[in-house]
Amino acid sequence: MARLGENSYGKSRVRLSRITRVKDPVHGDRHLFDEWSVTVMLEGDFETSFTAADNSKVLPTDTMKNTVYFVARNSKAATIEEFACEYGDYLLDNHAQIAKVSVEVDAKAWERLIVEGATEATTFTMGGPELQTVHASRERGSEWNVTSGVDGLTILKTTKSAFTGFVVDKLTTLKPATDRILGTRATITWDYAVAPPNFAHARARILAALLKEFAAHNSMSVQHTLFDMGKAALDAAPEIARIHLSMPNLHHLLADLSAFGQNNPNHIFVPIDEPHGTIEATVER
């Protein structure tokens, strides 16, 4: 006999752009620009839609999409964390059959364009390939559980990176390196011990600490650098309980120029992103 197990349904990749017009008595009228992608998943009293072809409690996913725009229209949320919770609260408050809502929001890194040293009031440029991320979930009657992060943080250093002393067996061809390129496209998430008074300020402190540590660190391995980056983030943001870092090692291999009668004093490299090593860990208090 078949029985329905855990189940959920929702809407993915609802895209939203938002202009917020700001009156500034010093700098004149300015615009803020956000571009978000929203995913929502619902759990609750939906069993009969699976087992009895009864859609009487099913909120259409198209309505979930429309609700994103409806909530955004009057939203005062300054961060993706605040919007995720606001959107989820609306669904829980207006649909009694929903027991749990999970919301993910990704934000593109638009930044103000700088022209001749001055920031443009209404013109923006893409700051990087990375996305700001949040995953927020709440069960009816409980508090929000919020995990913030960044996806695709692409960073590289051309020195202060080594890899020696590793296991060598009959299949090992890798040579020890005392000065190599270290590059990664990191995915990083952090959980809060307490809700920060300002999600944006917490995010800025965490990212600044991660980048500063990556640049300054005398790396003996990706593992070594990952752990010290995590420690730096915990020190910079006492409101977070733990941070998870996934850092693929995107290799730049020294090109062999001997066939051309040339030496190669750490000058010419071949970028290789497949296959790559993958290193990940959680650093917690």
- pLDDT tens column, 215-254: 999 999 999 999 999 999 999 999 999 999 999 999 999 9
C-alpha to C-alpha distance for 127 and 108, rounded to whole angstroms: 8
Exactly one of 11, 65, 135, 217 is catalytic; name it: 11
Same domain, 22 and 117: yes
Same domain, 81 and 138: yes
Same domain, 183 and 104: no
Q: Which residues contact 159 (CB under 8 A, 6 or more apart)?
A: 179
On whether residue 235 sits in a domain, the answer given is: yes
Residue 51 falls in the annotated catalytic set: no
Residue 65 falls in the annotated catalytic set: no
On whether residue 4 sits in a domain, the answer given is: no
Nearest C-alpha neighbor of 189 from the set 68, 83, 284: 284
Same domain, 100 and 195: no
* 93 and 46 Cβ atoms separated by less than 8 Å: no
Exactly one of 65, 108, 135, 251 is catalytic; name it: 251
C-alpha to C-alpha distance for 220 and 177, rounded to whole angstroms: 10
- Show which of 118, 143, 168 is a domain's final residue: 143
Residue type for 222, please? Answer: V
Same domain, 174 and 268: yes
On whether residue 1 sits in a domain, the answer given is: no
- Show which of 88, 110, 143 is a domain's final residue: 143
- Show which of 75, 110, 143 is a domain's final residue: 143
Could you tell me the pTM of the whole model? 0.93
C-alpha to C-alpha distance for 174 and 159, rounded to whole angstroms: 19
**Cα dist from 111 to 18, 32, 114, 155, 214, whole Å:** 14, 9, 9, 18, 23
Same domain, 161 and 241: yes
Q: What is the CATH number of the domain that holds 239?
A: 3.10.270.10
Q: Which residues of the chain have pLDDT under 50?
A: none
Number of domains in the chain: 2
**Backbone phi and psi for residue 165, each to the nearest 5 degrees, phi listed first:** 75, 15
Exactly one of 61, 95, 157, 231 is catalytic; name it: 61
Q: Looking at beta carbons, which pairs linking 117-126 to residues 24 or more positions away fall under 8 Å?
A: 121/27, 121/28, 121/29, 121/30, 121/31, 122/30, 122/31, 124/33
Same domain, 108 and 157: no
Residue 61 falls in the annotated catalytic set: yes
Query: Which domain covers residue 190, as residue numbers?
Result: 153-284
